[in-house]
Structure 1
Amino acid sequence: MTRLSVNINKIATLRNARGGNVPNPIEAAKNIESFGAEGITVHPRPDERHIRYADVDQLSKVVKTEFNIEGNPMDNFKDLVFRNQPTQVTLVPDSTEVLTSNAGWDTLKHQSYLKEVIAEFKSKGIRTSIFVDPDIQMIEGAKATGTDRIELYTEEFAVGYAKGKQQQAIKPYQECANLAHELGLGINAGHDLSLDNIRFFKQNMPYLDEVSIGHALISEALYQGLETVVKKYLELLK
């Protein structure tokens, strides 16, 4: 079974554009869970341009499914995670300048750093995942860090799928998933997955534990409604 974790950053982006608390990310998370989603994901940035640290503190009190906090493990991010004790922390190497995550970790170059950070999170009983590109060497490097899971960065797949090159696009992800499974790593995936491509991705990806979907899902919900879209993803992930 592949779990659906919904990233609610874009709901917070819409709220922040106007001020106030409409739409309310906390209420949205509760609704999304009630529609059947198996997890809530947030990715707080240092400038708090969408999800704010205060949102995370509130969400940790109300999320009943799996709570996944993503981000670059700087000191203030680590403090946030330790304070809220999510089910999972996903380490993403994004800088303060990027609009959205655009690359995975170099798990060879940053191996000692990742090993140290992951040991801290695991000592608190928090499951760890590393955001990585679909590259065999990066999977092997991830194993050496002590992480529980990897999250495959799926933009390259989404671009290939949109060009009609589905089989070519999925191949490196299949190879990485098979290796990760052999190495005892869990497998998550995310970035640019959508209602258009999720069925093919799920049907052709072995050992897929979880997908994290935000931008596409919230955009699709503007036309079809949040409950309808969440349930469509759940059906396609069966």
Structure 2
Amino acid sequence: MTQLSVNINKIATLRNARGGDVPNLLQFAKDIEIFGAQGITVHPRPDERHIRYQDVLDLKTVLTTEFNIEGNPINKFIDLVLKTQPEQVTLVPDAIDAITSNAGWDTITHKDFLKEVITEFKRNKIRTSIFVDPNTKMVKNAHATGADRIELYTEEYAKRYAMGDKNAVEIYADCARIAAEMGLGVNAGHDLSLENIGYFKEKVPGLLEVSIGHALITEALYLGLETTIKKYLKFLKE
């Protein structure tokens, strides 16, 4: 079964919009675990506009499933990850002012930098994943960085699938096969939803984990959080 990691950045955004502690981020994360998700993802950014650095440390004390911390490996982020010791860190080349992730790593240009950062995380027994575009060349070169996994950036798939183009999944399947041949695990995330997750899961071989936040939280406004999570789990099990 493909594991579901729920990104809770949007819950932090809602909390921060009003101040105070409603909704309570820690309780929300615990409820997500109770409802069956196998992991929690956070993506702290330097301006702390949603997840705060202290949130990350607090979450580590209460989570019982896999903790995945995403972000651009600037020094502050690296220090936070090493202090938190999550099960997984996902490296994302975000610009400081990015609203959301919008590109994967150039694993050729940044190979040496990624290799240095990944070596430090692996020295601390933290599984590493790097965010990459669905580009076979970038996937092939991801292996040279020492990463354990890649996370395929799925925005393009989601856009094209919504327009009826199911062939959009083919490049992702190709990338997943290449990754497997090189011994890399495959995760995926960005704009995956109840509408498109089933087909993606069916066509992409060896998919280990999906990280879903914005769509899942939006769908939960209509369906309820527990129902939404269980729907995702059904798609990911089939």
Q: Return the TM-score normalized by structure 1.
A: 0.99
Letter in 1 for 2:224: G
Matched with 2:121 is: 121
Q: Which residues of 2 match residues 31-46 of structure 1 at below 5 A? A: 31-46=31-46
Q: 1:182 deviation in Å?
A: 0.3
Q: List per-residue Cα deviations over 1:117-153 (Å, max 9, x = no partner).
A: 0000000000000000000110111100000000000
Taking the aligned partners of 1:111 and 1:236, their CA distance within structure 2 comes to 35
Matched with 1:21 is: 21
Matched with 1:197 is: 196
Moved over 6 A (4+): none
Taking the aligned partners of 1:178 and 1:85, their CA distance within structure 2 comes to 30
Q: 1:84 deviation in Å?
A: 0.6
Q: List per-residue Cα deviations over 1:140-170 (Å, max 9, x = no partner).
A: 111000000000000000011001001x200
Q: List per-residue Cα deviations over 1:3-50 (Å, max 9, x = no partner).
A: 000000000000000000101111100000000000000000000000
Query: Alignment RMSD, CA only?
Result: 0.5
Matched with 1:210 is: 209
Q: 1:190 deviation in Å?
A: 0.1
Taking the aligned partners of 2:140 and 2:222, their CA distance within structure 1 comes to 41
Q: List per-residue Cα deviations over 1:43-70 (Å, max 9, x = no partner).
A: 0000000000010000011110000000
Q: Which residues of 2 match residues 5-16 of structure 1 at below 5 A? A: 5-16=5-16
Taking the aligned partners of 1:63 and 1:152, their CA distance within structure 2 comes to 25
- Give structure 2 stretches of 5+ with no counterpart: none
Taking the aligned partners of 2:74 and 2:102, their CA distance within structure 1 comes to 18
Identity of aligned residues (%): 68
**Equivalent pairs, count:** 237
Q: Return the TM-score normalized by structure 2.
A: 0.99
Taking the aligned partners of 2:97 and 2:84, their CA distance within structure 1 comes to 26
